[in-house]
């Protein structure tokens, strides 16, 4: 609460209230999210951790406007995104998604990809947008690759470019769905540092879904552990490690302690999820 | 391997233009592939010769062999009327090529947009797809009487038939091309603030291109196939007509010359379509190259 008042001027505060999502694809109601509430302050890095298939992505899809919600409401800076009478949020550049498998358009160069948002929103002329895109990619260390197609660069570079593509629109919230899942540990480390550097520069609110507990603590201000399906908030762990953080942070005493705390909460849920899976199989 | 070539690229300037062409040519000549092609052609010609002219096997002795064909084909005074020096040979080629250009152009111009719209919009698909799926399996030869009744002259029915066949292939592939686009690209486009038209221009069209060009390569083959069939039934000129005409008049050499010519032109036309596709889809070519293909 104190933190919130400190960052009063920051935008991008997400308020998720009693959200429930029921899927009904084949007449059997599946509750993916059940009465889930979370408060995310503007400019906060909020990490969502929970077992596979627990409904984390459903929550993200609701915020992004890809799916509707059944009950509850989601507000961004006090404005209703979705709620009673408006089950599905509109898609908008103020809530940018970075996808699990990467969704840079393979038929556009990195520069064209980044310039795409401002161009179609008519926020800039196409030449201006390309200029700005080139500049921002160079800042992200991708200066030599702006004319390359996504298929020609490594997955790490593509992911960095995708974050630049999101940031050029000056979003209020960045929604990341396990963006570094398929990467090796070394690349991941570089990606983390690059994301932290970006965050320190922009202060954008980050909603980040992950399975990787070390990642969650290293990047986050708060780690929200959610339960196995249906998804509910189980525990919130505050990460009070000062920024800017570097990779040495990960060997600190405090880091280890937090890791243990989160691990304990997640492990319980993982066991439950596994047992539920076994029951379904049986 | 990748490291070595990367190192070489850094130490030397990249070859370009004619230099690059010579480098590639040299690589090609030094590899085994072109010789296999020559050996394949040689073997094929030899078997053909043995069957028709060498041993004159029963029934094959009715066919003109490679020697008889090349004698006529490259002669200034061809025995059976058609050679590279006679004007009629080129008339037939010209007429067929013209018809293909018109038919393929029409089929592409109509089929690609229609297929894209069908993939993009559910209502459009619901209107049109069932009709197309019903008409598509009707063999092109079954359309011959109808097309002669419907359209005047020789030209109309022939072009209609060739267009029809390739139109179905093109439309279907364009539609499947849209289906093949990953949902995440649509979501990303939505997030980035695209209008529906932006999505069509920047996601649907480029995303479907690989499928469209696969379709066009098949469709130009199908166009030739149905063109020749149509020319055989209803025609006054053209390579298909030449084949039937030669057969009727019991001159077999021009028949085979026309067949081989069709083969070459067909090969050339698909190569052109492929080249155009590679030019329009540099991103796709580079992506495949990255995967070592």
What CATH number is attached to the domain comprising A252? 3.40.50.300
- Chains A & B: contacts with CB separation below 8 Å: 77
pLDDT score at B154: 83
pLDDT score at A83: 83
| A180 and A147, same domain (yes or no) | no
Angle at alpha carbon of residue B164, lines to B161 and B166, rounded to 5°: 110
Q: What is the pLDDT of residues B36-55, one digit of tens each?
A: 989 999 999 999 999 988 88
In a domain, A9, yes or no: yes
Task: Report the C-alpha gap between A104 and B182 in whole angstroms.
Answer: 11
pLDDT score at B3: 47
Task: Report the C-alpha gap between A142 and A145 in whole angstroms.
Answer: 5
Mean pLDDT value across residues A41-61: 84
Picking from A111, A135, A170, the residue at the C-terminal end of a domain is A170
Could you tell me which of B81, B104, B111, B110 has the C-alpha nearest to residue B242? B81
* Neighboring chain A residues of B194 at a CB cutoff of 8 Å: 120
H-type alpha helices, chain A: 2-6, 56-64, 110-120, 126-139, 155-167, 185-202, 213-219, 253-281
What residues pair up with A225 in beta bridges, in sequence order? A49, A235
Compute and round to an integer the Cα radius of gyration of chain B. Answer: 24
- B187, B190, B192: best to mutate for the A interface, most A CBs within 10 A: B192
pLDDT score at A145: 93
pLDDT score at B89: 92
pLDDT score at B209: 95
Q: What's the mean pLDDT when you consider all of chain A?
A: 84
Whether A156 shows a pLDDT value over 80: the answer reads: yes
% of chain B exceeding 90 in pLDDT: 60
Whether B200 shows a pLDDT value over 70: the answer reads: yes
3-state SS class at B76: coil
| A7 and A87, same domain (yes or no) | yes
Task: Report the C-alpha gap between A115 and A105 in whole angstroms.
Answer: 12
pLDDT score at B12: 54
| A222 and A262, same domain (yes or no) | yes
- A93, A151, A178: best to mutate for the B interface, most B CBs within 10 A: A151
Q: What's the mean pLDDT when you consider all of chain B?
A: 89
Mean pLDDT value across residues A261-276: 80
| A194 and A60, same domain (yes or no) | yes
Task: Report the C-alpha gap between A138 and A124 in whole angstroms.
Answer: 19
Picking from A118, A146, A170, the residue at the C-terminal end of a domain is A170
* Neighboring chain B residues of A107 at a CB cutoff of 8 Å: 206-207, 209, 281, 283-284
pTM of the model: 0.83
Find the residue in A nearest to B194 (Cα): A120
Angle at alpha carbon of residue A134, lines to A128 and A135, rounded to 5°: 90
Whether B212 shows a pLDDT value over 60: the answer reads: yes
| A3 and A85, same domain (yes or no) | yes
Name the residue among B185, B193, B209 with its Cβ closest to that of A121: B193
Q: Which of B15-19, B175-179, B255-259 has the lowest mean pLDDT?
A: B15-19
In a domain, A279, yes or no: no
Mean pLDDT value across residues B56-84: 86
* A93 backbone dihedrals φ, ψ, rounded to 5°: -70, -5
Please answer yes or no on whether A93 and B191 come within 8 Å at the CB atom: yes
Q: Which of residues 222-281 of A touch B (CB under 8 A)?
A: none
**Chain A nearest C-alpha distance from B114 (Å):** 22
Please answer yes or no on whether A103 and B185 come within 8 Å at the CB atom: yes
% of chain B exceeding 70 in pLDDT: 95
What residues pair up with A228 in beta bridges, in sequence order? none
Residue B132 — pLDDT band, cuts 50, 70, 90? Answer: very high
Q: What is the pLDDT of residues A88-145, one digit of tens each?
A: 888 888 899 998 888 999 999 999 999 999 999 998 899 999 999 999 999 888 899 9
| Type and span of the H or E element at A47 | strand A45-49
Please answer yes or no on whether A107 and B290 come within 8 Å at the CB atom: no
Compute and round to an integer the Cα radius of gyration of chain A. Answer: 19
Task: Report the C-alpha gap between A277 and B270 in whole angstroms.
Answer: 52
Whether A8 shows a pLDDT value over 60: the answer reads: no
In a domain, A12, yes or no: yes
pLDDT score at A175: 92
* Neighboring chain A residues of B198 at a CB cutoff of 8 Å: 120
Whether B288 shows a pLDDT value over 90: the answer reads: no
**Chain B nearest C-alpha distance from A250 (Å):** 33
- B177, B185, B193: best to mutate for the A interface, most A CBs within 10 A: B193
Q: Which of residues 189-208 of B touch A (CB under 8 A)?
A: 189-195, 198, 202-203, 206-207
pLDDT score at B20: 84
| A201 and A69, same domain (yes or no) | yes
pLDDT score at B13: 63
Please answer yes or no on whether A101 and B184 come within 8 Å at the CB atom: yes
Task: Report the C-alpha gap between A110 and A157 in whole angstroms.
Answer: 10
| Type and span of the H or E element at A46 | strand A45-49
Find the residue in B nearest to A66 (Cα): B187
| Domains held by chain A: number | 2
Q: Which domains occur in chain B, in start order?
A: 2-71 (no CATH), 87-290 (1.10.3720.10)
% of chain A exceeding 70 in pLDDT: 95
Whether B15 shows a pLDDT value over 80: the answer reads: no
In a domain, A225, yes or no: yes
In a domain, A123, yes or no: yes
In a domain, A282, yes or no: no
Could you tell me which of B137, B230, B216, B104 has the C-alpha nearest to residue B170? B216
Containing domain of residue A3, as a range? 1-94+173-268
pLDDT score at A280: 67
Residue B11 — pLDDT band, cuts 50, 70, 90? Answer: very low
In a domain, A55, yes or no: yes
| A19 and A158, same domain (yes or no) | no
* Neighboring chain B residues of A101 at a CB cutoff of 8 Å: 182, 184
Picking from A170, A200, A226, the residue at the C-terminal end of a domain is A170
* Neighboring chain A residues of B191 at a CB cutoff of 8 Å: 64, 91-93, 95-97, 166
% of chain A exceeding 90 in pLDDT: 19
Please answer yes or no on whether B282 and A95 come within 8 Å at the CB atom: no
Q: Which of A158-172, A241-255, B122-136 has the lowest mean pLDDT?
A: A241-255
| A192 and A153, same domain (yes or no) | no
| A144 and A30, same domain (yes or no) | no
Comparing B99 with A259, the larger pLDDT belongs to B99
In a domain, A280, yes or no: no
| Sign for the pseudo-dihedral over CA of B94, B97, B102, B105 | negative
pLDDT score at A281: 64
pLDDT score at B108: 96
Q: Looking at mean pLDDT, say which of A31-45, A83-97, A199-213, B156-170 comes out highest.
A: B156-170
| A17 and A128, same domain (yes or no) | no
Please answer yes or no on whether A149 and B287 come within 8 Å at the CB atom: yes
pLDDT score at B219: 95
Comparing B32 with A26, the larger pLDDT belongs to B32
| A191 and A154, same domain (yes or no) | no
Find the residue in B nearest to A103 (Cα): B185
pLDDT score at A9: 60
pLDDT score at B1: 41
Q: Cα dist. B260→A99, B240, B242, B293 in Å? A: 53, 12, 12, 31
Find the residue in B nearest to A120 (Cα): B194
Whether B103 shows a pLDDT value over 90: the answer reads: yes
| A179 and A85, same domain (yes or no) | yes
Please provide the DSSP assignment of B103-123 as one string. HHHHHHHHHHHHHHHHHH-HH
Mean pLDDT value across residues A169-190: 86
**Which residue is associated with the tokens 């470019």?**
A161
Task: Report the C-alpha gap between A226 and A249 in whole angstroms.
Answer: 25
- A93, A106, A122, A207: best to mutate for the B interface, most B CBs within 10 A: A106
């Amino acid at each position: 609460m104190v933190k919130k008042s400190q960052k009063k001027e920051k935008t991008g505060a997400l308020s998720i209230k009693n959200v429930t999502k029921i899927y009904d694809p084949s007449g059997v109601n599946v509750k993916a999210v059940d009465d889930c509430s979370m408060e995310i302050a503007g400019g906060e890095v909020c990490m969502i951790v929970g077992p596979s298939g627990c409904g984390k992505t459903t929550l993200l899809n609701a915020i992004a406007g890809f799916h509707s919600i059944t009950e509850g409401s989601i507000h961004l800076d006090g404005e209703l995104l979705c709620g009673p009478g408006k089950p599905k949020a509109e898609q908008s550049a103020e809530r940018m998604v970075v996808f699990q498998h990467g969704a840079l358009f393979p038929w556009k160069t990195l520069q064209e990809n980044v310039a795409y948002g401002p161009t179609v929103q008519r926020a800039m002329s196409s030449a201006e947008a390309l200029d700005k895109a080139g500049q921002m990619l160079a800042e992200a260390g991708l200066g030599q690759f702006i004319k390359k197609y996504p298929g020609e660069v490594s997955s790490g570079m593509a992911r960095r470019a995708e974050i630049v593509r999101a940031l050029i629109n000056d979003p209020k919230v960045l929604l990341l769905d396990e963006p570094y899942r398929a990467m090796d540990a070394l690349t991941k480390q570089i990606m983390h540092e690059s994301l932290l550097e970006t965050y320190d520069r922009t202060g954008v609110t980050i909603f980040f879904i992950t399975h990787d507990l070390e990642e969650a603590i290293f990047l986050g201000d708060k780690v929200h552990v959610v339960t196995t399906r249906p998804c509910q908030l189980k525990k919130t762990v505050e990460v009070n490690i000062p920024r800017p953080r570097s990779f040495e942070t990960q060997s600190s005493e405090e880091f280890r302690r937090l890791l243990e705390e989160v691990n304990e909460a997640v492990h319980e849920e993982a066991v439950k999820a596994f047992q539920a899976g076994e029951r379904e199989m049986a | 391997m990748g490291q070595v070539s990367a190192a070489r690229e850094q130490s030397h300037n990249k070859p370009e233009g004619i230099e690059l062409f010579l480098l590639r040519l040299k690589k090609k000549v030094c590899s085994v592939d072109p010789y296999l092609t020559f050996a394949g052609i040689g073997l094929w010609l030899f078997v053909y010769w043995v069957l028709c002219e060498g041993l004159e096997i029963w029934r094959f002795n009715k066919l003109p062999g490679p020697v008889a064909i090349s004698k006529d084909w490259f002669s200034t005074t061809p025995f059976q009327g058609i050679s590279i020096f006679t004007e009629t040979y080129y008339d037939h080629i010209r007429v067929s090529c013209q018809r293909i250009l018109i038919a393929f152009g029409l089929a592409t111009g109509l089929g690609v947009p229609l297929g894209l719209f069908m993939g993009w919009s559910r209502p459009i698909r619901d209107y049109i797809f069932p009709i197309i799926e019903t008409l598509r399996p009707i063999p092109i030869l079954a359309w011959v009487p109808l097309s002669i009744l419907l359209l005047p002259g020789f030209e109309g029915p022939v072009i209609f038939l060739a267009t029809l066949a390739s139109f179905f292939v093109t439309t279907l592939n364009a539609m499947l091309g849209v289906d093949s686009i990953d949902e995440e690209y649509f979501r990303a486009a939505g997030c980035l603030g695209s209008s529906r038209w932006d999505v069509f221009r920047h996601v649907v069209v480029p995303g479907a291109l690989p499928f469209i060009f696969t379709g066009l390569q098949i469709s130009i083959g199908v166009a030739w196939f149905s063109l020749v069939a149509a020319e055989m039934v209803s025609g006054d000129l053209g390579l298909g007509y030449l084949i039937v005409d030669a057969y009727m008049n019991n001159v077999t050499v021009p028949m085979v010359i026309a067949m081989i010519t069709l083969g070459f032109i067909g090969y050339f036309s698909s190569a052109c379509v492929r080249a155009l596709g590679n030019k329009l889809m540099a991103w796709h070519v580079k992506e495949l190259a990255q995967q070592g293909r």
